[in-house]
């Protein structure tokens, strides 16, 4: 199940920061790290990632919505033309 990046709970964000801080410490060698520095760097990294993912998600949703609106307009226009057609003269049948 994919999480909406614009709706991450505070608990989930804290878990992500804790994991990122831990892996930063592991990469640098656990004994050679400052936990506060690792936490603050991880917090910035996670905040930026969430903002980036949220913007990408919103952009994708807006694009899909506008494509859907275009299709809806096209179908509505077609339905209007079909239902308001006058019965003057023979119609050709397709199919």
The DSSP output letter for 5 is T
> Higher model confidence: residue 44 or residue 84?
44
Task: Classify residue 60 as left (phi > 0), alpha (psi -120 to 50) or beta.
Answer: alpha
Helix axes 10-28, 35-83, angle to 10 degrees: 130
The two tokens of residue 74 are 């096209």
Q: How confident is the model at residue 20 (pLDDT cuts 50, 70, 90)?
A: very high
What's the mean pLDDT when you consider all of the chain? 75
Rounded to an integer, what distance in angstroms lies between the CA atom of residue 5 and that of residue 50? 6
Over residues 26-52, mean pLDDT: 89
């Amino acid at each position: 199940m994919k999480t909406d990046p614009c709706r991450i709970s505070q608990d989930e964000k804290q878990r992500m920061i804790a994991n990122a801080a831990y892996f930063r410490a592991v990469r640098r060698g656990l004994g050679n790290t400052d936990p506060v520095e690792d936490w603050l760097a991880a917090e910035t990294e996670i905040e930026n990632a969430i903002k980036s993912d949220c913007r990408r998600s919103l952009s994708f949703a807006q694009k899909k919505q506008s494509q859907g609106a275009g299709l809806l307009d096209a179908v509505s226009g077609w339905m209007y033309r079909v239902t308001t057609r006058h019965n003057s003269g023979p119609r050709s049948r397709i199919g």
